[in-house]
Amino acid sequence: MIAIVDYRAGNLTSVKKALDRVGAESFVTSDPRAIATAEKIVLPGVGHFAATEVLATSGMSGAIAEAIGRDVPFLGICVGMQWLFETSEEAPATRGLGLFPGQCGHFPLAVKSPHVGWNDLTRERPSLLLAGVPQNSFVYFTHTYRAPVGPGSVAQCEYGGTFSAAVERGRVFGVQFHPEKSGEIGLTILRNFCELAC
């Protein structure tokens, strides 16, 4: 069973629905014990970086970090991906998990913000998560802050400069876009995650 982590920020319905669609069993939870025993973990995210504080205060981030340590597959979406980095300009006092280096920052003022719509992925290196996703595939983004390109990046996107669209390290994955809203390409990505051996 896949645990969809509920930290009271935004809408989990779409993620649940998309996992149902690819035939994966999942449940929504904010219980650290349920997270600790899940086969896989998805951390969705729509909302403010500061909302991830709840993860720390509730004990959920400890459960997630411990599961990641046991090589349990983890997928962070949008703010859920940003949380894998050290910090974000959106809430500088809030600590992320720090599995990827750097700080998430605001888009430059020269471009409209939020970055909303379908943009294309530039794939950079082989990726388990993006297997079968063609170069320059379109996926749906909606976000105001973005993660830097770094050693963990497996796909970049261009909007007011380049940023990390997908990161991967072992079995820890993050996507800035919304696979649950990205049509067939998004379903391919979710299917790749769901089919990873536990």
**Single residue of 4, 40, 84, 143 touching other proteins by CB under 8 A:** 143
Tokens 């390109």 sit at which residue? 149
- Catalytic entry in 115, 143, 157, 178: 178
In angstroms, give the least distance from the CB of 18 to other proteins: 7
Site string for other proteins, 20-59 (x = CB under 8 A): -x------------------------xxx-----------
**What is the rounded distance in angstroms from the CA atom of residue 57 to the CA atom of residue 149?**
29
Range list of β-strands (E), the chain:
2-5, 26-29, 40-43, 74-77, 87-88, 103-106, 115-120, 122-123, 138-143, 145-146, 153-158, 162-169, 172-175
25 is a catalytic site residue: no
Tokens 């995650």 sit at which residue? 193
Q: Kindly state whether residue 138 participates in binding other proteins, applying the rule CB under 8 A.
A: yes
Q: Kindly state whether residue 162 participates in binding other proteins, applying the rule CB under 8 A.
A: no
Q: Kindly state whether residue 119 participates in binding other proteins, applying the rule CB under 8 A.
A: yes
> DSSP letters along 65-108, please?
HHHHHTT--EEEETHHHHTTSSEETTSTTS----SS-SEEEEPP
Q: Kindly state whether residue 82 participates in binding other proteins, applying the rule CB under 8 A.
A: no
Q: How many residues bind other proteins (CB under 8 A)?
A: 35
- Catalytic entry in 78, 104, 157, 194: 78
Tokens of 94: 């809030």
Q: What does the binding site for other proteins look like in residue numbers (CB under 8 A)?
A: 9-11, 13-14, 17-18, 21, 46-48, 112-120, 138, 140, 142-144, 158-159, 178, 180-184, 186-187
Catalytic residue numbers, as ranges: 78, 178, 180
